[in-house]
């Protein structure tokens, strides 16, 4: 029977084989149509209307649920505002909770690509704390969910539906995630980013334990990608107000608040009149001066002339990275070559190359595949300088960015050419390791490129100063701040400060 089935299938395959080119052509039609709509200048006037019609059915389907989610969200906000101000700041008195101190981290992200969560969990686990990480599944494949970060770090992977609330307004409350958090025997709830802050505050209030809110970004000052207008725009009024409400709660109700840079910390404290200072723990990776030579020598591999300077952009690509002005700047900087290397480059390579061709610099733009994360620093050494830019006029969250790639360039020992944004400018100016430019102005970018290319002594000066930066920008010093914060919470608990009050359910 089985043999007959296989035989019949083979006959069917033989009959279908002549028609396969037709089926493949039909299969490709939707993808080609989508590419035509996205890239053809003829379709530019129609794109907003087409995008609106494309998303209309989904929006109509979500509308009834909107009238359920928003009242529930507002009810929880009201309950937290009325709660005892000490309810989320309380600490377990010695003897009330079993040792060791268990920190329950709430995360909605792919844990494999969120280095800040990993660094914090490892730092705490290495200092005697037990860390449990709650996170919705980011993949349907079981092997993708196998994450191991060492002893004292445990994972509880929730069903994907537990994190689905972030796709729907107000993006900040999910009942399933809250129930999972309440099921944990927590000494402290640690919320990673604003999308878990409300859940952590509710769980901490109900259980009478401490809550630490860790803002990786400034959510209310972030941006939304508009599929209708095909660009990033500041959040709309409704989304921004929801985010601001939870940020205000966190600043006033949480035991401690952490963020990633001084600028965001100062503005959060000022805007929301925080009763306590906001702690700054920068997202500094483990960087050391790399002694490993690059496996790919860019100048030889790409046949770049000796008189040209190689400017390397290494990292994620796309509209938010603002690489278009840098490509345009090549037309004004004849001694510059731009190499773009990062994940997802194949989705934007054609657009970058068309722009370079339009400005007559196609021969000085190279788009390369990403390298393994373990080789990022070593491979960057093949460039003369590292370049970084970002959208600067769409919100304070982008303006205050301090990306990992800046530290990776420093570890590679290469000078920096960076967008003139506050946090990055502070590092470049303090250690004198590079130049800044206006990220919106190709002329300013070209001026920085020309200055670097025409003054070899300037590049040597930057390279000599990089070891000083490496000595100060040490990851262990940064993550020890987090350990010290938790040691202080532990000390307060041992001294009986902030005993848990009666908490309303």
Kindly report, residue by residue over 315-371, the tens digit of the pLDDT: 888 888 889 999 999 999 999 999 999 887 778 888 899 999 999 999 999 998 888
Structure tokens at 82: 């009325």
What number does CATH give the domain 63-284+480-494? 3.40.50.2000
Tokens representing 261? 């840079």
Average pLDDT score over residue span 78-104 = 61
pLDDT at residue 138, as a whole number: 81
CA dist., res. 198 & res. 81, Å (int): 12
**Residue that wins the pLDDT comparison between 155 and 97:** 155
Least confident of 7-16, 44-53, 273-282: 7-16
d(CA 349, CA 352): 5
Confidence (pLDDT) at 36: 66
**What is the reported pLDDT for 3?**
46
Question: Tell me, what DSSP letter sits at residue 328?
Answer: H
Beta-bridged to residue 309, according to DSSP, are 336
Q: For residues 255 and 72, is the Cβ–Cβ distance under 8 A? A: no
Q: Which residues of 175-213 are buried (b: 16+ CB within 10 A; e: fewer)?
A: eebbebbeebebbbbbbbbbbbbbbbbbbbbbbbbbbbb
Instruction: Examine the pLDDT at 309 and tell me if it is beyond 70.
Output: yes
Q: How confident is the model at residue 251 (pLDDT cuts 50, 70, 90)?
A: very high
Rounded Cα–Cα distance for residues 123 and 103 (Å): 12
Taking the CA atoms of 493, 498, 499 and 501 in sequence, report the sign of the dihedral they define. Answer: negative
Host H or E run for residue 417: strand 416-419
Contacts of residues 230-236 at CB distance under 8 Å and 24 or more positions apart, as own/partner, are 230/38, 230/47, 230/51, 231/319, 232/319, 232/320, 232/391, 232/394, 233/394, 234/394, 234/395, 235/395
d(CA 488, CA 473): 24
Segment 186-204 mean pLDDT: 94
Distance linking the first and last C-alpha atoms of the chain: 63
Cβ within 8 Å of residue 37, ≥6 positions away: 43, 46, 47, 50
Taking the domain 298-472, which CATH number applies? 3.40.50.2000
Q: Is pLDDT at 13 greater than 90 in this prediction?
A: no
The size of the chain, in residues, is 505
pLDDT higher than threshold 50 for residue 94: no
Q: What is the 3-state secondary structure (H, E, C) of 49-60?
A: HHHHHHHHHHHH
Return the beta strands (E) in 287-393 as ranges: 309-314, 336-341, 365-368, 385-388
- How far, CA to CA in Å, does 49 sit from each of 38, 252, 396? 13, 43, 30
- Using a cut of 0.85, tell me whether the model's pTM lies above it: no
pLDDT at 435: 95
Instruction: Name the residue ranges covered by the structural domains of the chain.
Output: 63-284+480-494, 298-472
* pLDDT, mean over the chain: 82
Q: Is the pLDDT of residue 432 over 60?
A: yes
Distance (Å, whole) CA 79 – CA 463: 55
- 142 vs 468, residue with greater confidence: 468
pLDDT on residue 397 = 87
Contact 117, 192 (CB under 8 A): yes
For 488, the token pair is 């202080």
In CATH terms, are 63-284+480-494 and 298-472 the same topology?
yes
Cα–Cα distance, 370 to 388 (Å, whole number): 16
Reading the block at residue 354, the tokens are 């068309």
The single residue listed with the structure tokens 């840098």 is 326
Q: How far is residue 11 CA from its own chain's centroid?
A: 52
Sign, Cα dihedral of 284, 239, 160, 58: negative
Per-residue pLDDT tens digits for 262-276: 999 999 999 999 998
């Amino acid at each position: 029977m089985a043999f007959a089935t296989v035989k019949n299938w083979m006959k069917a395959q033989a009959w279908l084989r002549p028609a396969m080119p037709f089926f493949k052509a039909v299969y490709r039609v939707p993808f080609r149509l989508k590419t035509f709509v996205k890239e053809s200048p003829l379709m530019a006037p129609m794109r907003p209307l087409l995008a609106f019609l494309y998303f209309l059915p989904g929006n109509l389907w979500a509308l009834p649920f909107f009238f359920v989610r928003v009242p529930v969200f507002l009810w929880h906000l009201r309950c937290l505002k009325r709660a005892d101000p000490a309810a989320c700041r309380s600490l377990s008195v010695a003897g009330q909770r079993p040792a060791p101190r268990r920190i329950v981290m709430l995360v909605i992200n792919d844990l494999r690509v969120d280095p800040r969560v990993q660094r914090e969990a490892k730092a705490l686990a290495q200092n005697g704390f037990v860390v449990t990480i709650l996170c919705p599944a980011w993949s349907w494949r079981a092997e993708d969910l196998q994450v191991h970060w060492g002893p004292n770090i445990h994972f509880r992977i929730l069903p994907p539906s537990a994190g689905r609330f972030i796709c729907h307004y107000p993006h900040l409350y999910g009942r399933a995630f809250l129930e999972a958090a309440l099921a944990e025997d927590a000494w402290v709830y640690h919320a990673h980013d604003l999308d878990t802050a409300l859940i952590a505050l509710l769980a901490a209030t109900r259980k009478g334990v401490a809550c630490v809110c860790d803002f990786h970004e400034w959510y209310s000052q972030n941006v939304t990608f508009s599929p209708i207008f095909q660009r990033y725009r500041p959040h709309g009024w409704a989304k921004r107000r929801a985010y601001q409400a939870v940020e205000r709660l966190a600043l006033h109700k949480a035991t401690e608040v952490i963020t990633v840079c001084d600028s965001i910390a100062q503005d959060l404290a000022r805007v929301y009149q925080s009763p306590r200072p906001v702690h700054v723990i920068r997202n500094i990776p483990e960087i050391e001066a790399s002694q490993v030579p690059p496996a790919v020598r860019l100048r030889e591999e790409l046949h770049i002339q000796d008189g040209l300077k190689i400017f390397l952009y290494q990292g994620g690509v796309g509209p938010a990275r603002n690489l278009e002005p840098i490509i345009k700047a090549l037309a004004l900087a004849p001694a510059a070559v731009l190499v773009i290397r990062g994940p997802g480059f194949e989705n934007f390579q054609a657009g970058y190359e068309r722009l370079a061709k339009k400005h007559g610099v196609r021969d000085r733009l190279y788009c390369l595949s990403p390298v393994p994360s373990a080789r990022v620093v070593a491979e960057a050494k093949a460039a003369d300088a590292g370049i970084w830019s970002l959208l600067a006029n769409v919100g304070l969250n982008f303006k205050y960015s301090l990306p990992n790639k800046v530290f990776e360039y420093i570890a590679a020992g290469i000078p920096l050419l960076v967008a003139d944004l506050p946090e990055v400018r502070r590092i470049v100016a303090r250690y004198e390791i590079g130049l800044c430019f206006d990220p919106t102005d190709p002329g300013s970018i070209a001026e920085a490129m020309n200055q670097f290319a025409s003054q070899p002594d300037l590049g040597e000066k930057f390279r000599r100063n990089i070891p000083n930066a490496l000595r100060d920008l040490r990851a262990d010093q940064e993550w020890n701040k987090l350990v010290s914060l938790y040691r202080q919470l532990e000390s307060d608990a041992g001294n009986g400060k902030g005993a848990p009050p009666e908490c309303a359910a």
